[in-house]
Amino acid sequence: MFRISTILAVVLLAACNSAPKEDASYCTSPKPGVITTVNEYCVVVQEDPVNPEIVREWNGQRVGFCCNGCIPRWDKMTDAQKQAALDSAIAKGKVVR
């Protein structure tokens, strides 16, 4: 019985050590599907969540959009309108999943 327990313990320890190591870059790199913008809801169509692949830099921030169709509408806004739209989208908070 002692021998089986010892073998089991060795196998479990080996399995734990074979897991991939997590370093600082693992924690700081975005994972697939993770929002990497200042807003989680689109700044143009504020009912829709951001597609993390559709972003535009504005005032040093990454602004997210739900689709490519929203970008021309964003580009036509004044800076004051952009700021108001961004503030409103940020105020909506996080997307409920």
Q: What is the pLDDT along the chain (97 residues), one digit of tens a residue?
A: 667 666 655 655 555 555 556 555 555 555 665 658 999 999 999 999 999 899 999 999 999 999 999 999 999 999 999 999 999 999 999 887 6
Token digits of residue 59:
């005032």
* 12 located within any domain: no
Residue 2 is predicted with a pLDDT of: 63
Among 81, 78, 51, smallest CA distance to 67 is for: 51
Residue 97 is predicted with a pLDDT of: 67
Q: Which residue has the tokens 């999943």?
A: 97
Instruction: Count structural domains, the chain.
Output: 1
Domain with 61, as residue range(s), is 27-91
Q: Give the CA count within 13 Å in the CB-facing half-sphere of 48.
A: 15
* 4 located within any domain: no
CA angle 36, 79, 87 (to 5 degrees): 50
Residue 57 is predicted with a pLDDT of: 95
Residue 73 is predicted with a pLDDT of: 98
With beta carbons less than 8 A apart as the criterion, state whether 54 and 71 touch: yes
* 14 located within any domain: no
